[in-house]
Amino acid sequence: MTTAYFDIAFDRQPLMGVFRNLSATAAVARAERAWDAGVRNVEIPVQSTDALPTLRAVVAAGRERGLDVGAGTVVDVDQFAEVSAAGAAYTVSPGLDADIVRAALERGIPHLPGVATPSEILTARRLGLRWLKAFPASVLGADWIRAMRGPFPDVRFVATGGMVLDAAPAFLAAGVGTVALGDAFDDDEACERIATMMRDA
């Protein structure tokens, strides 16, 4: 389910939004700008329960457009009940934890774990995952993506962590499926560039 879900969700979606530490109002506004630019995928990190109202608000706004919203920074199995109740369609973690992966699979929730080494990629593959989050992508670099695509051609990456719009083309050329952006959606000129990238995808 996880692979099939992300195959569809990230199809011709070179960019996604990750909106951390925002109020519900600010997150919805940023999500609306992303959606208006053609970006379908939005993630709301829930590193604390204080972020759950924001997740719920963005989920509700996305539902009006028929769009899914994910919950990020899932670092504990206990978070699944909260994010599921809030309406998250998928979950994202900064690292790879087998218990979290199994908990997601048991609940039928597509999960995107973070990886930064070949060993973590191998472990994720053994757990049945083919979409992984390269984190922190700005530190790993586009060359890391290109190198990992060699031995793992069946794995697709989402580049997350410190990413800026100007860096996106290099990562996409290296083989990532999607690049995650944050405050770029607050800038009118950047949104125009994002809209162009989405139309050309």
Annotated catalytic residues are 43, 133
Q: Is the separation of the CB atoms in 71 and 83 below 8 Å? A: yes
Q: Is the separation of the CB atoms in 113 and 131 below 8 Å? A: no
Contacts of 36 (CB under 8 A, 6+ apart): 191, 195
* Residue 24 tokens, joined: 């519900």
Q: Is the separation of the CB atoms in 148 and 155 below 8 Å? A: yes
Nearest to 66 by CA among 141, 123, 9: 9
Q: Is the separation of the CB atoms in 71 and 94 below 8 Å? A: no
Q: What 3 state SS string does 115-177 have?
A: ECCHHHHHHHHHCCCCEEEECCHHHHCHHHHHHHHCCCCCCEEEECCCCCHHHHHHHHHHCCC
d(CA 190, CA 125): 35
Residue in the block written with tokens 């929730």? 109
